[in-house]
Structure 1
Amino acid sequence: MTDRQNKAKLMGNFFIFIGVLILLVAVTMIFMVIKDNPKNYLTIGAIAVTAIVIFNFYIFKKMVIELIVEIEDNTKMSKLNTKNSNKLEKDMLEVLESIDFLAIRRNKTTREMHEEIERLNNLLKKSSFKQVVADGEVAATSNNDEDDNFIESEKPIIQYESEYGIGDGSKKTISNDGIQFEDPNLESAVREKINKLEGPIYKEDLVDISTLSLSNKNISSLIGLENLIGLQKLDLWKTDIDNIEPLSTLENLVYLRISKTNVVDISPLENLTAIEELYLQETEIEDISVLSKLQNLMYLYLEKTLVKDISSLEELKNLEDLYLWNTPNLDTGTNSPVHKTIKKLESRGCNVIY
């Protein structure tokens, strides 16, 4: 028998001893109460119920210990059901080496389940789980690659928080799938922002991020950033990005700086109508027609771009400041269409610098 098994046996016996001792104390107290006041049923009942509850707790702990020993003695076990346990027993999982199926109890919060799935991910590196079930629903499955066994996909396992007496009762389907960032430097910046240096990043980890500065970082891809739907201010100055498609879902953005990047196409900004301040300087952007949709835009910076036509800006009734200086392709001559647009904007109180 291993040292771990011996320790488990001793702990199990200790829990039984404590449970029996508590029962004896309770019986003694009941006899004393009966002797002094035979009709004090309330006190007698309270002592009895308390003793039974505590005794059952220690019996349960003993059963857990014995289960661990049983698992160690039977490393070829193919199934394990711990659904009657309030928590996924960490000690149980640590001894599993060759098990195909695990049934666990769905927890009160999604975050607790996430933590347990993370634990399972670590466990799968040394065991052979093929399926994890939470309250009858498949929570996770691993691939069949013998050399690389890990949880490959996880289904949503909580649909209504109200079902468990938490939250505001609104319908929510929360996936346990971790967010994938294509650029490791972007992932590193997000991890630093949420103070989570390791483990999967989930959508619920990102909901409170309202500002994010990625300026002057070696970032070339924004894939994954589309999940920061609460983002209001984003600074991408002096990055290596050339595609801003992931920003198309960030409808709460009010401030965006993509100056000094490789971006040429800004069409993904079309639906970001909350934007008030937009920096596009020192890019090779030519077509800004999409900006006519951004009716809340107040401050626009187009210096050192390749813009030729600014007529679309006439649609922006709230524009207060427009910066056009050092824009070589822009013809601002007295009779040019650009000059006419500038005068029209100025007549509405917009400050145009060119």
Structure 2
Amino acid sequence: MISSTSTMQHLLLLLLILTTQHFIPSLSEKCNPHDKKALLQIKKELGNPTQLSSWNPTTDCCERDKWLGILCDIHIETYRVNTLDLSDLDLPEPLPIPPSIFTNLPFLHDLTFNHIPNLVGPIPPSIANLTKLQYLFIMRTNISGEIPNTLSQIKTLIGIILYYNKLTGTLPDTLPSLPNLEEIAFVHNQLTGSIPESYGTFSNSFTALSLSRNRLSGKIPASLAKLNLLYVDLSRNALEGDASVFFGSKKRIEYIILGNNSFAFDLGKVRLPKNLKRLDLRNNKIYGTLPKELMKLKHLSKLNVSNNNLCGEIPVGGKLQRFDKSCYAHNRCLCGFPLRPCKT
């Protein structure tokens, strides 16, 4: 027979469990408590936007699709937060990048800020604290100031994508020291100055250089001839000089986009990469003739050489007659179909 004292002890124990279960984390929760605390602080620093309502302290931040934009490392079962994707947030007022990200989430591999108009201020130098970061995406924000040189301290970086922001200043000349870097894309900002000579020393893994829609000026460094890119886009700047450094019969490059600058070189003397898919040279000062090798490019799908100083006959063959005449228009003396016939 159970005594009344024993019954009372069981009731007290049950009452204690019921009243404390909301405050004691589940033993099955995988989210690291330090990471959860950091995320909740980040949410607070962002003004508690409604889009982060799923960041609930009573749930597991590592449970898949539970916390918006959060992924944890489940493969080696550390369950540390390694992905933070902050996109389409409606911040209550202009706010800076939360400092807690750089001090309290040391296992981040991927960090994204996308389409957050009220995200303002600089990229803080303390970003160097993210020593495991591989990909940085900052897109469609009002982040301003210079690109911090401290990025070159993050030796794990693979891609730095800074699209449609208000970044100013010059290109960091220390980025080529990153051994694993494959891509930089600093598109549609307000960057000034020239392309550093050091950019010719990127590692062999570096494949994409995109600096379009800025205010860059000066001549292309000859050192860039050492690069073996897949993609280059320097369009819509004020660059000048010899951009033939990106061409070469042995290069693997597929996209060469150099339009709306002041480049001047003899196009007839360049050797074309055999895998070229897009060539955009519009609105420059390029002269010479169109290389006959253009006829042999099986993968060429887009071509624009308009508004230059080209002369001679458009080679007949391949895909060259399939492009609209606007792709060849406004050159000094370029002729042949789809333009006017050449004089005999």
TM range (shorter): 0.3 to 0.5
- TM (norm. structure 2) is 0.39
- TM (norm. structure 1) is 0.38
**Which structure carries more helix by proportion?**
1
